Chain A
């Protein structure tokens, strides 16, 4: 079993905020969306960050590991090449499917929590792991709907996945909040069920509530409820890393710095959020 690296507190690198990410104080690591980059044409900003020794972690959104079809080896090869080019300690994608029946949803769809879906997910994850040069971490998604006839809770489902594939976990606390609001899941049960010793890092992101539905937009400020969940997680484990995701409607550098400070404050003293 490979040791999980200490990552610290970081932010999602996006080309729109490349200079901001370079300027922000104390960015310990960054994450890039794998599908947006080419391993042989890396942006200068990422070279600058790598030059400073900042880890850059490729985060994929299109492997569709929870999909019924066998994993697309070209997509895995791209992720592998990116990990090599960036000398990344690990890579990640989601527990989800994006394609089925000839259609592309354009989004990370939840999988049914059944034995069938778990068997297929495990087979796909093992196939991806066999082609990747570094450990693979898998993230819980935000769902607007829940499949009927789930045999396991989401936490139990992920625990089984880790048991059978030895993958790492990427826990998104904003997605936990989204699922609690939208499909009545219990974040505390989730955090109890998953093997926290396999936690690679944590995502924190902003969102907004419209007509009783929480939307995980990555384009709004981080809600206090999401920081409360980060505190809940921190009381159980010292996460190797925590990363802020912001994908649109970018605020000032000062606002992003303040959100990173708020994350650091929760990690230093989770009791402040009781």
Chain B
């Protein structure tokens, strides 16, 4: 068995027919992609960005999934930025959850960028002081 279509078979349909079938398959797959994209986008927006829950799902399961996804993201950020968990202590979780609700992770954003965005957000809203300038940035004092 191969992963190609039946086109390779010697006794198969004519080349023109195969070509038409392939074009028709490709169109069908493209249409399926569009329908699937809408379904998957609706679900992720509900789970990650406060979107309307899609019809037909068990609401309790949606809440459990949203909570699990948030916990996983929060856990990864905590591992990447122990300085933030230390500085915030018990405030880490509520602040991260507030950040996450307004800043769903965009496709193509790495977890390190996510963690850095959280750090910036914390400073902007006054939850943490701006990071101290590192000493080696300062020019040597003139002697």
Mark A residues whose CB is within 8 Å of B.
Answer: 1, 67-70, 97, 99-107, 109, 111-112, 115-117, 119-120, 123, 126, 129-130, 144-149, 165-166, 182-183, 213, 215
Contacts and interface: CB of A to CB of B under 8 A. Distances in A.
Contact of A101 (B35, B37, B57, B61): B37
Given A103-B49, A116-B32, A119-B32, A97 B40 contact: yes
Given A100-B43, A103-B105, A166-B1, A120 B58 contact: no
B2 A166 contact: yes
A116 B1 CA distance: 23
Contact of B45 (A68, A103, A112, A148): A103
A119 B45 CA distance: 23
Contacts of B80: none
B87 interface: no
Interface string B41-52: 111110111000
A149 B33 contact: no
B70 to A, nearest CB: 9
Nearest to A101: B41
A145 B64 contact: yes
B65 interface: yes
Top 3 A-B pairs ranked by shortest CB distance? A101-B41, A148-B56, A68-B37
A116 B36 contact: yes
Nearest to A64: B107
Contacts of B58: 145-146
A53 to B, nearest CB: 30
Interface of B: 1-3, 28-29, 32-37, 39-45, 47-49, 55-58, 61-62, 64-65, 68-69, 72-73, 76, 104-109, 111
Given A106-B72, A130-B3, A149-B56, A101 B105 contact: no
20 contacts: A68-B34, A68-B37, A100-B37, A101-B42, A102-B41, A103-B45, A103-B48, A103-B104, A103-B107, A104-B109, A105-B44, A106-B111, A112-B36, A119-B28, A120-B33, A146-B58, A147-B56, A148-B56, A165-B3, A166-B3
A120 B45 contact: no
Contacts of A182: 61
Given A68-B33, A102-B106, A123-B29, 16 more contacts: A67-B40, A100-B40, A101-B42, A103-B41, A104-B105, A105-B47, A106-B105, A112-B36, A115-B32, A116-B36, A120-B29, A126-B3, A145-B58, A148-B56, A148-B57, A215-B68
